[in-house]
Structure 1
Amino acid sequence: MEILKEIAELLNEGTELNSLLPEVLHKLLYVTDLHTGWVFLIEDGEPYLAAHENLPEALSHHNLEPMCKHDCWCVDRFKNGRLQKATNIINCKRIEEAQIENKYDTRGLTHHATVPLRAANEMFGVLNVGSPNKKHFDDEELALLEAVAFQIGTALKRIKLTQREQETALMEERNRLARDLHDSVNQLLFSLSLTARGGKEMAKEEEIKETFSYIHDLSRQALQEMRALIWQLKPQGLEGGLITAIQAYSEMVGLNLKYNVDGITTLPGKVEETLWRIVQEAMANCKKHSGQLNIEIALYTNQKNKVVMVISDQGAGFQYNEKTKLPSLGLKSMKERVEGLNGHFCLQTEAGKGTMITVTIPV
């Protein structure tokens, strides 16, 4: 009861998965006197290592390669629905493979207990714990681990619901701001453009005509940028599909779009919105900095169940080295969005030779 109380208090305080799960795992191992543990979360059918502690070299070498690239029996059981309660795994497949290779130290770890992380009927992943030379967990130990896993699953459910509420609130705020900009600033700029054009037609002196013409051009430019900003806040047209939205946006900002789509049917909502935001930023950069108006976009799926988007132009480009930081906030934002979905962002550019952005995201 004391163990459950301590872990429950820790879970109730947590709001971020990246920091919460390692803390809970550390506390669990400490109070149960176990040595090693790791947590796999399953998203869109694919596992990823969300937390780990005291992994032997056999599981942690080459930047956790065995934990990130190899299959295992516990995750297989989770995927096919056979892992419904805490259980002893007779052997660890990853450890067994390491023993066969005989290259890395297992520190006596050969077995582990596996517990599903769940809340009601919703499954989130698996919790694995073990200790050197420990080959069996009795019923009392498994019952405790199951109770802790249920607490973790409930906390995961709470955090995910909170994140959804925050995302909904953010979208509502974006929509409100977009409406306000459209109804106020956008209309004022439009009125300023009409007034400047009228002043130019009424003016008799050439100098005054040039002044009104300059004001008219500035107001039209500001109006175009304001419309682009409103699109970014409220992606109108995305309900008709990503390609439709991209086509409409390219027309609005005045770019000549050439695109190719292969093997794409439907995309998860978060992936589609991320690709859409990246296209918007890339098009804005092309319009402002490339010195030309042509842009190409390729969108396809590869053999690894990942969506790939390539955005390129043959414009001015710029000097960039992969070992240095990205030079603009917009590019950094693109990279963060992609990596937030466990994807990969690649920028290739050179002065006078254009720019290419390649985005790869699991789907």
Structure 2
Amino acid sequence: MGLNHSNITILKEIAELLNEETEMIPMLKGALLKFLSGTKFDTGWIFFIDSKGKSKLVAHENLPEALAKNGCQHLSRGGCWCVSRYRNNELMKASNIIECQRIESAMIDSDDDTGGITHHATVPLQSGQERFGILNVASQNTVRFTEEELELLESVAFQMGSAIKRIHLTNEQQEIALVQERNRLARDLHDSVNQLLFSVTLTSRAGIEMSDQPEIKETFKEIQELTQEALTEMRALIWQLRPKGLESGLMEAIKVYAEMLGLKLIVNVSGVIQLPSRIEETLFRIAQEGLNNIRRHAGVKIAELYVTVTQTDILLVIKDEGRGFVIDPKVRIPSVGIQSIKDRAHAIGGTADWVSEIGKGTELLIRLPY
């Protein structure tokens, strides 16, 4: 059974859209909308499913009110046959779903219209051996879909899987290029500015030894202290560009960084730390910024770090008993450091909060999903 002319046309249009888009979610939403507008299917939604089997609703179009209400809660929560089959490696091609727990729960719990949606078809999104998730589509008052409709669904899923793979590869290449650029900049800073500051430190030290006049000695001493401070800042910047020690473990890298800043760090860990590289680097960058803030503003040389790992979250707490501060609610960005931490946490779906009081220290609380 082959695809008819209208189906070939819609596949061509979808292929063109997928090739033009560079952002993942807009690409999926656009392709899904074009597919629905050119076929008899009425609604659709896409789950990404990670290696642990955790599913996430990433795109949907034309959902009836019962499925769309409260942030698509019925689609986002609970179990269902299609996701279970996918996790068990039993979903290999486009299939009819006899009963969907998510749709059934929406029908039971909601007085809103389900738009005649009672059943759906499902297909895995994959490229070669790599699997990314599933595409589900449904039509009003339709219990079962034809072989031709399932064949069309498989063709679209194949296109989407290839496009998802392309964007993953592009993002990986961009990340590699970014790391290479960071390394180059770190080398340049180390070889030029870092060495220059070190030379100024040695020169000022020599000036202190050579001069007999107290005023000149004091001037050279001030130059030495300022240069040493700048040298510490530069080393911290180089570390931020090219973190050494992550290969020895996240906690070891954070400890070494604190030591370099002249801070004594007391570390408490609960749970096994085996994290994806992106989560690990985000935690490291946030810890760096938190420790930088303590060194610059807290007026203390000791800090505590707590890491708790659960099945779904990582909680990072950094505490000091320093000066503390009060955030003015009228000011959107209290400081560049605080905003940087917030941005890093939010970028991967996490949260960042502070508890601080003048004279009673500061507690930074970070929660990241994984």
Q: TM-score, normalised to structure 2's length?
A: 0.93
Amino acid at match of 2:196: L
The answer to whether the aligner puts 1:46 opposite 2:54 as a matched pair is yes
Amino acid at match of 1:274: T
Distance in 2 (CA, whole Å) between partners of 1:48 and 1:147 is: 23
Equivalent residue for 2:322? 315
Distance in 1 (CA, whole Å) between partners of 2:196 and 2:47 is: 54
Amino acid at match of 2:351: H
Equivalent residue for 1:301? 309
Q: C-alpha displacement at 1:341, in angstroms? A: 2.6
Q: 1:273 to 1:101 in 2, by over 3 A?
A: same
Distance in 2 (CA, whole Å) between partners of 1:351 and 1:144 is: 64
Q: C-alpha displacement at 1:143, in angstroms? A: 0.5
Match of 1:200 among 197, 208, 215: 208
Q: 1:341 to 1:2 in 2, by over 3 A?
A: same
Gap runs ≥5 in structure 1: none
Equivalent residue for 2:4? none
Q: 1:69 to 1:250 in 2, by over 3 A?
A: same
Equivalent residue for 1:9? 16
Q: What aligned pairs does 1:51-130 form with structure 2 within 5 A after superposition? A: 51-130=59-138
Equivalent residue for 2:367? 360
Equivalent residue for 2:225? 217
Equivalent residue for 1:264? 272
Q: C-alpha displacement at 1:320, in angstroms? A: 3.0
The answer to whether the aligner puts 1:340 opposite 2:347 as a matched pair is yes
Distance in 1 (CA, whole Å) between partners of 2:317 and 2:328 is: 19
Distance in 2 (CA, whole Å) between partners of 1:180 and 1:329 is: 25
Distance in 2 (CA, whole Å) between partners of 1:203 and 1:223 is: 24
Amino acid at match of 2:120: H
Q: Secondary structure at the match of 1:91?
A: coil
Amino acid at match of 2:226: L
Amino acid at match of 1:263: G
Amino acid at match of 1:52: H
Distance in 2 (CA, whole Å) between partners of 1:19 and 1:49 is: 14
Amino acid at match of 1:305: T
Moved more, 239-248 or 307-316: 307-316
Equivalent residue for 1:328? 335
> What is the CA deviation profile of residues 263-316 of structure 1, one whole-angstrom value per residue up to 9, with x for unaligned ones?
1242221111111111000000111111222211111212x4322211122222
Distance in 2 (CA, whole Å) between partners of 1:359 and 1:280 is: 13
Q: Secondary structure at the match of 2:149?
A: helix
Match of 2:241 among 233, 258, 265: 233
Q: Is the 8 A contact 2:75 2:103 kept in 1?
A: no
Q: TM-score, normalised to structure 1's length?
A: 0.95
Amino acid at match of 1:37: G
Q: Is the 8 A contact 2:120 2:137 kept in 1?
A: yes
Q: Is the 8 A contact 1:347 1:356 kept in 2?
A: yes
Match of 1:249 among 248, 257, 268: 257
Q: Secondary structure at the match of 1:55?
A: coil
Q: 1:193 to 1:48 in 2, by over 3 A?
A: same
Match of 2:165 among 146, 157, 171: 157
Q: C-alpha displacement at 1:361, in angstroms? A: 2.4
Distance in 2 (CA, whole Å) between partners of 1:102 and 1:276 is: 44
Q: Is the 8 A contact 1:320 1:350 kept in 2?
A: no
Distance in 2 (CA, whole Å) between partners of 1:81 and 1:343 is: 30
> What is the CA deviation profile of residues 50-74 of structure 1, one whole-angstrom value per residue up to 9, with x for unaligned ones?
1011222222222222222222221
Distance in 1 (CA, whole Å) between partners of 2:41 and 2:360 is: 57
Distance in 2 (CA, whole Å) between partners of 1:162 and 1:110 is: 38
Distance in 2 (CA, whole Å) between partners of 1:315 and 1:50 is: 43
Distance in 2 (CA, whole Å) between partners of 1:68 and 1:335 is: 25
Distance in 1 (CA, whole Å) between partners of 2:348 and 2:363 is: 21
Amino acid at match of 1:184: S
Distance in 1 (CA, whole Å) between partners of 2:206 and 2:367 is: 50
Distance in 2 (CA, whole Å) between partners of 1:193 and 1:176 is: 25
Q: C-alpha displacement at 1:322, in angstroms? A: 7.7
Q: Secondary structure at the match of 2:38?
A: helix
Q: Secondary structure at the match of 1:184?
A: helix
Distance in 2 (CA, whole Å) between partners of 1:321 and 1:121 is: 52
Q: Is the 8 A contact 2:74 2:103 kept in 1?
A: no
Q: 1:285 to 1:5 in 2, by over 3 A?
A: same
Amino acid at match of 2:25: N
Moved more, 47-56 or 306-315: 306-315
Q: Is the 8 A contact 2:265 2:305 kept in 1?
A: yes
Distance in 2 (CA, whole Å) between partners of 1:285 and 1:315 is: 11
Q: Is the 8 A contact 2:351 2:367 kept in 1?
A: yes
Distance in 1 (CA, whole Å) between partners of 2:329 and 2:33 is: 36
Q: What aligned pairs does 1:177-188 form with structure 2 within 5 A after superposition? A: 177-188=185-196
Distance in 2 (CA, whole Å) between partners of 1:29 and 1:267 is: 38
Q: Secondary structure at the match of 1:98?
A: helix
Distance in 1 (CA, whole Å) between partners of 2:67 and 2:74 is: 5
Distance in 1 (CA, whole Å) between partners of 2:322 and 2:77 is: 39
> What is the CA deviation profile of residues 187-220 of structure 1, one whole-angstrom value per residue up to 9, with x for unaligned ones?
1100000101111221222222221111111111
Q: C-alpha displacement at 1:136, in angstroms? A: 1.8
Amino acid at match of 1:106: T
> What is the CA deviation profile of residues 297-343 of structure 1, one whole-angstrom value per residue up to 9, with x for unaligned ones?
111212x4322211122222222378974423332332332233333
Moved more, 291-300 or 158-167: 291-300
